[in-house]
């Protein structure tokens, strides 16, 4: 089963954070299944993780060339995993892909956060006497969940993030396979190479974009957000409204741009193209007695790109309000309804020390990271501040109504 991301992108840590990847020199089922359990529990709601078997690391850096696994052992591992998966309570099956790295065969286990958590697994899955425990990830380490963490896992049992829930009012026919193929081609996934002879249902299943039984299959919300032609049909007001006030707020002169609609990532590109074409301007200032000129933008593009992408990443798609962008002569205002996660307080925006307890749209964030539209490491605000500072622009202002923060 090919991955929805190339293995080179995976091991580079540029798209998937290092704490979401674990490398194993060889097949050690006891250790590996504890980590599978931890990724499936996904206590931080960051999207699970990946386990690469046949690959070593040295202080977080992948050792090249890869060690790889003999073909005979690969076959044995796949057979053993069928039985081991059923020992997880409730049963859970990671997605297995055979990948080529440096001419060697390696196994990649993709372990998305499970929809039936909490999961527990034997401490020694190969032992005759099995003692079950809950496991979680803490930074880059798999550990037993303590009593408090177990209670938190249990409380999360029915709190699957909205973008990862099945949308039972739709069908897989609502997913545009051309948009899926375009994404796979852009991210250089091997899955794109098999799209000519693999069914639509199989491709969506391999990308973890469907939920349900074979005879009654539904797309997940994230699939409709990214790979349907009109996401606003399923999530009303999923659009961007841009209003320009050329003379400021003191006059009634304003004009509205046509609504920006379509798949989420295409909306982001359309908004950024609007800024490039209509708003952003560069001024070149020559310095006396110096060969180089100073180049200053009215608004640095990097700050705009980060702010726009994060508005889509962190918005609440259950709130029927569009993203609003208001352009004034001396400022740009981006309104994103739903507000930040409850764990983030207003003072954090002043210091820049923003560490969300959970991400509202973990799966959407993963796809946007693969498209290099966001990083998802709580770096958005620092990047905006740095871009503005490097451009000698004023500090950004952040404000929200604490009474309107969505609980999801």
pTM: 0.71
At residue 104, the pLDDT reads 96
At residue 383, the pLDDT reads 87
At residue 267, the pLDDT reads 97
Phi-psi region of 388 (alpha: psi -120 to 50; beta: other; left: phi over 0): alpha
At residue 354, the pLDDT reads 61
Count how many residues are written for the chain: 408
At residue 113, the pLDDT reads 82
Instruction: State in words which class domain 1-160 has.
Output: alpha beta
Which is nearest to 217 in space by CA: 203, 229, 230? 203
Phi-psi region of 260 (alpha: psi -120 to 50; beta: other; left: phi over 0): beta
At residue 349, the pLDDT reads 63
Q: Which residue ranges make up each domain of the chain?
A: 1-160, 240-404
CATH topology (fold) of 240-404: Heat Shock Protein 90 (3.30.565)
Cα dihedral sign for 333, 337, 341, 342? positive
Asked if 312 and 260 count as a contact pair (C-beta separation under 8 A), the reply is: no
Name, in order, each residue with C-beta under 8 angstroms of 214's C-beta and a sequence gap of 6 or more. none
At residue 191, the pLDDT reads 86
CA 401 → CA 223, 241, 345, 356, 406, distances in Å? 30, 20, 11, 17, 11
Distance CA 55, CA 44 (A): 26
At residue 404, the pLDDT reads 46
At residue 295, the pLDDT reads 82
Asked if 54 and 67 count as a contact pair (C-beta separation under 8 A), the reply is: yes
Token pair 């005979």: residue: 72
CA 349 → CA 271, 314, 319, 373, 396, distances in Å? 24, 15, 23, 22, 10
Instruction: List, run by run, the mean pLDDT of 10-residue segments along the chain (408 residues).
Output: 78 79 96 96 85 91 93 95 95 93 96 86 96 94 94 78 87 95 92 82 92 79 96 95 86 87 97 95 80 84 93 90 93 84 61 61 89 75 88 86 50
At residue 359, the pLDDT reads 67
* 1-160 and 240-404 have identical folds: no
């Amino acid at each position: 089963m090919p991955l929805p991301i190339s293995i080179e992108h995976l091991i580079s840590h540029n798209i998937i954070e290092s704490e979401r990847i674990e490398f194993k020199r060889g097949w050690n089922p006891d250790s590996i299944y504890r980590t599978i359990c931890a990724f499936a529990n996904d206590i931080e709601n960051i999207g699970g993780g990946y386990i690469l078997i046949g690959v070593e690391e040295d202080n977080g850096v992948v050792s090249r060339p890869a060690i790889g696994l003999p073909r005979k052992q690969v076959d044995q591992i796949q057979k053993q995993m069928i039985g081991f998966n059923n020992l997880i309570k409730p049963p859970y099956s990671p997605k297995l892909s055979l990948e080529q790295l440096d001419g060697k065969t390696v196994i990649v286990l993709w372990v998305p956060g499970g929809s039936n958590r909490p999961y527990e697994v034997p401490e020694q899955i190969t032992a005759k006497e099995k003692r079950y425990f809950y496991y979680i990830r803490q930074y880059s380490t798999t550990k037993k969940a303590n009593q408090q963490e177990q209670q938190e896992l249990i409380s999360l049992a029915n709190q699957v993030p909205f973008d990862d829930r099945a949308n039972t009012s739709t069908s897989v026919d609502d997913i545009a396979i051309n948009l899926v193929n375009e994404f796979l081609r852009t991210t250089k996934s091997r899955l794109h190479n098999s799209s000519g002879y693999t069914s639509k249902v199989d491709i969506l299943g391999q990308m973890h974009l469907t939920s349900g039984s074979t005879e009654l299959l539904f797309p997940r919300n994230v699939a409709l957000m990214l790979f349907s032609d009109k996401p606003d049909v399923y999530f009303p007001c999923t659009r961007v409204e841009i209003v320009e006030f050329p003379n400021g707020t003191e006059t009634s002169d304003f004009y509205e741009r046509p609504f920006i609609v379509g798949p989420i990532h295409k909306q982001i590109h359309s908004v950024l193209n609007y800024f490039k074409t209509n708003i952003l301007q560069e001024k070149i200032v020559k310095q006396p007695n110096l060969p180089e000129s100073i180049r200053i933008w009215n608004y640095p593009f990097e700050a705009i790109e980060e702010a726009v992408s994060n508005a889509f990443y962190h918005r609440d798609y259950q709130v029927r309000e569009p993203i609003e962008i208001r352009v004034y002569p001396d400022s740009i205002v981006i309104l994103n309804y739903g507000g930040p996660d409850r764990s983030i307080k207003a003072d954090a925006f002043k210091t820049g020390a923003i560490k969300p307890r959970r991400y509202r749209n973990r799966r959407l964030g993963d796809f946007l990271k693969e498209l290099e539209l966001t990083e998802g490491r709580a770096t958005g605000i620092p990047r905006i501040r740095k871009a503005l500072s490097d451009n000698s622009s004023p500090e950004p202002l952040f404000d929200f109504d604490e009474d309107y923060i969505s609980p999801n």
